[in-house]
Amino acid sequence: MLRPDNGQRNELANALRALAMDAVQQANSGHPGAPMGMAEMAVALWTRHLRHNPADPQWWDRDRFVLSNGHASMLLYALLHLTGYDLPIEQLQRFRQRGSLTPGHPEVDHTPGVETTTGPLGQGLTNAVGMALAEKLLADEFNRPGHTVVDHRTWVFLGDGCLMEGISQEAISLAGVWKLAKLTALYDDNGISIDGAVPSWFADDTAGRFAACGWNVVGPVDGHDVAALDEALREARASSDRPTLVICRTTIGKGSPARAGTAKSHGEPLGKEEIAATRAALGWPAAPFEVPADIAAAWNARAAGADAQGAWRAGWEAYRSAFPAEAAELERRMSGQLPRDFEGDLQGWIAEAQLKADTVASRKASQKSIARLAPALPELLGGSADLTGSNLTDWPGCGAVRGGESGGRHINYGVREFGMAAIMNGIALHGGFIPFGGTFMTFSDYSRNAIRMAALMNRRVIHVLTHDSIGLGEDGPTHQPVEHAASLRLIPNLDVWRPCDEAETLVAWGSAVTQPRRPSALLLSRQNLPAQTRTPEQTAAIWRGGYVLSDRPQPRAAILATGSEVGLAMAAQALLDARGLPVRVVSMPSTSVFDRQERAWRDAVLPRDLPSVAVEAGVSKLWASYGCTAVLGIDRYGESAPGPELMKAFGFTPEHLAELVAGEVGSEPQIERSSN
Amino acid sequence: MLRPDNGQRNELANALRALAMDAVQQANSGHPGAPMGMAEMAVALWTRHLRHNPADPQWWDRDRFVLSNGHASMLLYALLHLTGYDLPIEQLQRFRQRGSLTPGHPEVDHTPGVETTTGPLGQGLTNAVGMALAEKLLADEFNRPGHTVVDHRTWVFLGDGCLMEGISQEAISLAGVWKLAKLTALYDDNGISIDGAVPSWFADDTAGRFAACGWNVVGPVDGHDVAALDEALREARASSDRPTLVICRTTIGKGSPARAGTAKSHGEPLGKEEIAATRAALGWPAAPFEVPADIAAAWNARAAGADAQGAWRAGWEAYRSAFPAEAAELERRMSGQLPRDFEGDLQGWIAEAQLKADTVASRKASQKSIARLAPALPELLGGSADLTGSNLTDWPGCGAVRGGESGGRHINYGVREFGMAAIMNGIALHGGFIPFGGTFMTFSDYSRNAIRMAALMNRRVIHVLTHDSIGLGEDGPTHQPVEHAASLRLIPNLDVWRPCDEAETLVAWGSAVTQPRRPSALLLSRQNLPAQTRTPEQTAAIWRGGYVLSDRPQPRAAILATGSEVGLAMAAQALLDARGLPVRVVSMPSTSVFDRQERAWRDAVLPRDLPSVAVEAGVSKLWASYGCTAVLGIDRYGESAPGPELMKAFGFTPEHLAELVAGEVGSEPQIERSSN
């Protein structure tokens, strides 16, 4: 069946080209240029190096393939279809149509074989760094002499756009430090981006840049020469201590007589005439969406995949016999299931924290939570963007993951918030870990799109965002989040928590680790916060996201507070008590979670006919959606000054809040209604 | 008065060290390590190379100095104080206190001599690239043979943190492409970041990395040897075609016997004992906040500054005589004033667009607006993050700013959204230009903190954010903004516009360019939008941010719509007319601007007793703050499909909206109330 290599390889590549240009044409939308340009790169990798089994995309020791230039999605769909994944040709014919398995950009969990959702440039590469790190850490932890059950590679295709994005620097710098030798990036060096020929805006010596970051650089090689690419990938696999960049010189839209090498091939269909011309130039006779049987057979990787996985499984069974506990633990870890005892332990810790009632900053409460969770959850993998001592993300005995050290569980990401977030996404996508990472809350701006991507991809990633208001004090407005809590709450599928004390912080952590399909952001104070008193029912109600923390008979108003302002609300309640105005205090650590409660719960906590005032040291606009008619918030930037002084200057005092509530009730408090 | 160089220079440096450690101690907050480590770098630059006049911080041909590692603010305050800026010692004594001129991080417009607000790492360097580009472009445009009236340098201090941040790669790559020879960065290579010694997380060969990006790299030099630094800066000034990086090997906290070279010196006071030990080790006898008179005199740069500015002014007067029109124009440009005729022209264009009533996408309406504005406003400097043909940011005859080309007015930023935004901030800070730049709206996530910084710094920067909803179609959820409009609206001092047709788009542009102290974001559709009919009064009301676009006698509800959903609202109004339910349509192109209107206007547009329904293809939560009791929005991620199909699938149809409004009115429409 196999023809001589050269002819065969060209036809294998041309099958990808044809499917890509035909699908884009049929959709009348999409990007033909990159798939056509990367076709031989794909042939070399997918037919000679990639270790995978199309029949079992969940085989966890498979190689990972990441298409960082996600607009080239048709390349990936063509590969998945041809190699035998459950992606029939009808799906390719429905490229970019509603409900198809072939959306405009690859989406993980949506299409079998897609490892991560890509499109926002630079993040795929960074996800891949996270995947490769996860592999390395799992291998270190679970492999035993003679038993290398964790042993796979991570391969990335990327383009000029990924390399222009700054996040790529964060990714390659860390991949170099971590010596991720099993990571290989293939650079589609086609010299064209949307605005045209790149040297006028992208003149980096990319080989020099990667070499400067500790990478093994191979090439440039002819990106249309499968044999040369194959050799380059062999060189990559031979690297024992450095990640490898293979620079592949390609022609965008290769095969199209009129559009090859032009920006015009990038993001629009070639058109029927040009497609016909391309078919002729390639000598590709098959009709649209048809692949000659011999080519299809040559592409099919099901047999090879079954062999590969079978060989691995034999090793796995041997491992399981020799190390049953480790095997069971590794399977648990890769499944994403928490240990059986965990939830019970968690409830105990929460009750204990509630009982002890320590006054601590919520960032400190978070560290205490981590110190409890981490021994119980070996999958917890922490880190910080160079603010470990401020974010308090480390814990006793956590060790470090960094250059030259292994065995640790806390990653020193350096000052790289966006990279950290996208690497965490990669770690979560790989499996085996629950990653969390810290930075100052303001700098969630830097990582925002990666936080969004975790939410879009339904991945359990935890962002520890400390210094959560002007209360941080002297560092001033550049470091003081104002709009950030509200902005993060708007990201669909992200759970945002702003706990007020240690019990709420533990619940926030508990919620974050027990929800496998959702990221969480924990907004934590720099300053100390008093512990609140709760009945067991109230402690349980924290899990509802919003609950009545302190009530009065026949309350005339509610104060809705979060995080560091809950103590303030309690103090205002006391002042109003003295004035004969009974008010309820609602603690709302998570609007995200509260919003998911049944209507009866929400209405019971915040009755529609009860005037309510929100208090949070941040922008005020969101609170109207909870029925609040007044808000004590901050709709401007902060200032540099000691935190307590600022809080006072911005009106965050019990007296001011009490006045506001009294004013909202609309009349002088009626002493006769006071009942306590 | 001047002592021999070595002794003198050490004492000059020690004056900085002492002021920094004393001020941090007094504040009991701040960062002594970096100022102490960079003291000699500051001496070399500020006493031998920096061309400035402390008596006139607004002299526009001054050199720009940017402290990219802004936490080293006390270094800058000490320099400004010692060289003779209007920053008395009392202000240094009030470091980090409320209302002082010495906030925790440097703030432009707040402290004389501070060129940009820094603290968020990597952005200062990127601002500096923008400043250097602005200088180069202005020099190209205005200098004449024998008259180099624009001729200044941009100097940056930066640390490891700036280089770890990905944005630094975007900045250095563009600086290399643009051959910004007058830009010099001094790298405080102290090997320490907050988590400790950097090689475990930052092992880049920084010299190699910068060289790969087309920089002239000098050093490493001994960062405590003023003569060596001076020589390095001479080398930097000799570079005619490349920006220069001077690698300065320093010791963080230099001078402190116990803390020098440790992370502990970074972010907390040294403590009284260690300060005493440091004084002894440095041989610095003066009391806190006292500077010996000879040292103070040696630092004072008022005379030198007056000379420098005087020499420049003589040249300027000669230029003014020879080229009066150019001189007047340059002065106007640097003042930020628009041409006298501009506002009248603008009103004419708006009226004309209103009259012509073209159906175009708002991104196209934006391009038409730019084509009108740009000839009238030579200070407009456009660009795109490699999406020129999609963002439609270019205009006829705009030319290009890119490697190897000059004279153009449209910058090809490459795929670097964050870099673009921070470079635009630098351009605006420099003066002489109104920068605008385009990307897809979703990727405003990448640039978000720089958008915030423009708002915090009160700078006129315009973000052209196209493809503003699921309406963009097939590219799918990674590219479809959902939470972004609402999130941007939460950033204080940012004007967000989402216009519905060409007239509104022109007003949005007009508002953006005529407000000198505020950035704007224009959210624009990919898809075509119908023009709306308006009376002259309604057209004028667009400037209010929200207004009644179409009313009915005794309306029973209001529909509040923005951008691409305004047409939908009008269609729903017609359906409801037919059902005998009169409703008002409110167009709300800018909540930011509407929020600034007097209460009477707001209440007239959206009367409190009129039920109202908002419609916008984005998250719904913000609309409750406008009194809306129902929202047709999107509180989940989008999908990949043709735009019109998606809009329908997500419920954005006149029928659905009409149902929602009818339901909100709470009863069947009463036919007898229909009055048209």
Instruction: Inspect the interface and report whether the beta carbons of A386 and B173 lie closer than 8 Å.
Output: no
Three state DSSP letters for A472-510: HCCCCCCCCCCCHHHHHHCCCCCEEECCCCHHHHHHHHH
Closest CA to B518 of B596, B607, B589: B596
Q: Which two tokens stand for residue A170?
A: 């964060």
Lowest mean pLDDT segment, chosen from A59-63, A182-186, A667-671, B251-255: A667-671
Mutation to test the A interface, candidates B77, B206, B392, B475, most A Cβ within 10 Å: B475
Question: Shortest Cα distance from B552 to chain A (angstroms)?
Answer: 28
Closest CA to A565 of A515, A615, A599: A615
Instruction: Write the pLDDT tens digit of every residue in B494-519.
Output: 999 999 999 999 999 999 999 999 99
Residues 205-264 of B with CB under 8 A from A: 205-209, 211-214
Angle, to 10 degrees, between the axis of helix B226-238 and the axis of helix B5-27?
A: 100
Q: What is the pLDDT of residue A658?
A: 98
Chain A residues with beta carbon closer than 8 angstroms to that of B404? 200
Cα(B639)–Cα(A492) distance, integer angstroms: 14
User: How confident is residue A7, by pLDDT bands cut at 50, 70 and 90?
Assistant: low
Q: What is the pLDDT of residue A676?
A: 33
SS3 content of chain B, % helix, strand, coil (to 5): 45, 15, 40
Pick from B164, B476, B625: which is nearest to A416 by CB?
A: B164
ipTM of the complex: 0.97
Cα(B410)–Cα(B420) distance, integer angstroms: 12
Q: What is the pLDDT of residue B576?
A: 98
Q: What is the pLDDT of residue B1?
A: 33
User: How confident is residue A46, by pLDDT bands cut at 50, 70 and 90?
Assistant: very high
Angle, to 10 degrees, between the axis of helix A417-430 and the axis of helix A167-177?
A: 60
Taken in order A373, A378, A381, A382, is the CA torsion positive or negative? positive
DSSP state of A643: H
Answer yes or no: are the C-beta atoms of A357 and A350 closer than 8 Å.
no
Largest CA distance in chain B: 98
Torsion, Cα B586 B589 B595 B601, to 10 degrees, reads: -40
Q: What is the pLDDT of residue B8?
A: 63
Instruction: Inspect the interface and report whether the beta carbons of A624 and B625 lie closer than 8 Å.
Output: yes
Please state the rounded mean pLDDT for residues B102-131: 98
Cα(B474)–Cα(B470) distance, integer angstroms: 9
Please state the rounded mean pLDDT for residues A595-606: 98
Q: Report whether pLDDT(A207) > 90.
A: yes
Q: B601-621 burial, b for 16+ CB within 10 Å, e for fewer? A: bbeebbeeebbbbbbbbbbbb
**Alpha carbon distances (Å) from B327 to A194, B62, B147, B321, B577:** 38, 17, 11, 9, 60
Answer yes or no: are the C-beta atoms of A41 and A72 closer than 8 Å.
no
Please state the rounded mean pLDDT for residues B64-72: 98
Chain A residues with beta carbon closer than 8 angstroms to that of B168? 166, 169
Pick from B98, B120, B200: which is nearest to A639 by CB?
A: B98
Find, in chain A, the residue whose alpha carbon is nearest to that of B631: A625
Instruction: Inspect the interface and report whether the beta carbons of A390 and B194 lie closer than 8 Å.
Output: yes
Three state DSSP letters for B17-79: HHHHHHHHHHHCCCCCHHHHHCHHHHHHHHHHCCCCCCCCCCCCCCCEEEECCHHHHHHHHHH
Q: Is A243 left (phi over 0), alpha (psi -120 to 50) or beta?
A: beta
Q: What is the pLDDT of residue A404?
A: 84
DSSP state of B337: P
Instruction: Inspect the interface and report whether the beta carbons of A174 and B201 lie closer than 8 Å.
Output: yes
Residues 637-656 of B with CB under 8 A from A: 637, 639-642, 645-646, 649
Instruction: Write the pLDDT tens digit of every residue in B162-218.
Output: 999 999 999 999 999 999 999 999 999 999 999 999 999 999 999 999 999 999 999
User: How confident is residue B671, by pLDDT bands cut at 50, 70 and 90?
Assistant: very low
Q: Report whether pLDDT(B6) > 90.
A: no
Q: Report whether pLDDT(A568) > 50.
A: yes
Q: Report whether pLDDT(A520) > 80.
A: yes
Q: Is A130 helix (H, G, I), strand (E, B) or coil?
A: helix
Residues 383-442 of A with CB under 8 A from B: 384, 386-390, 400, 402-405, 412-416, 418-419, 442
- Kindly give, in sequence order, each residue whose CB lies less than 8 Å from that of residue A375, ignoring residues fewer than 6 positions away: none
User: How confident is residue B666, by pLDDT bands cut at 50, 70 and 90?
Assistant: confident
Give me the phi and psi of A549, to 5 degrees please.
Answer: -90, -35
Pick from A120, A194, A492: which is nearest to B386 by CB?
A: A194
Choice among A11, A417, A565, A616 that is catalytic: A417
Cα(B662)–Cα(B676) distance, integer angstroms: 18
Q: What is the pLDDT of residue A406?
A: 79
Taken in order A136, A138, A144, A149, is the CA torsion positive or negative? negative
User: How confident is residue A407, by pLDDT bands cut at 50, 70 and 90?
Assistant: confident
Place of tokens 């897609």: A114
Q: What is the pLDDT of residue B420?
A: 98
Could you report how far apart the first and last alpha carbons of chain A are, in Å? 90
Lowest mean pLDDT segment, chosen from A567-576, B2-11, B302-311, B659-668: B2-11
Answer yes or no: are the C-beta atoms of A658 and A559 closer than 8 Å.
no
Lowest mean pLDDT segment, chosen from A53-57, A74-78, B54-58, B664-668: B664-668
Q: What percent of chain A has pLDDT over 70?
A: 97
Please state the rounded mean pLDDT for residues A488-502: 98
> How many Å separate Cα B591 from the centre of its chain?
21
Cα(A400)–Cα(B661) distance, integer angstroms: 58
Q: What is the pLDDT of residue A8?
A: 64
Q: Report whether pLDDT(A5) > 70.
A: no
Instruction: Inspect the interface and report whether the beta carbons of B212 and A206 lie closer than 8 Å.
Output: yes
Instruction: Inspect the interface and report whether the beta carbons of A214 and B194 lie closer than 8 Å.
Output: no
User: How confident is residue A3, by pLDDT bands cut at 50, 70 and 90?
Assistant: very low
Three state DSSP letters for B243-298: CEEEEEECCCCCCCCCCCCCHHHCCCCCCHHHHHHHHHHHCCCCCCCCCCHHHHHH
Instruction: Write the pLDDT tens digit of every residue in B223-280.
Output: 999 999 999 999 999 999 999 999 999 999 999 999 999 999 999 999 999 999 999 9
Q: Report whether pLDDT(A673) > 70.
A: no
Closest CA to B498 of B463, B460, B539: B463
Chain B residues with beta carbon closer than 8 angstroms to that of A195? 384, 386-389, 412, 414
Find, in chain A, the residue whose alpha carbon is nearest to that of B169: A166
Active site residue A417: yes
Angle, to 10 degrees, between the axis of helix B167-177 and the axis of helix A167-177?
A: 110
Tell me if chain B has a CB within 8 Å of the CB of A18.
no
Instruction: Inspect the interface and report whether the beta carbons of A120 and B478 lie closer than 8 Å.
Output: yes
Residues 145-164 of A with CB under 8 A from B: 160-161, 164
User: Which neighbouring-strand residues pair with B39?
Assistant: none
Q: Which two tokens stand for residue A50?
A: 């990639």
Q: Report whether pLDDT(A669) > 90.
A: no
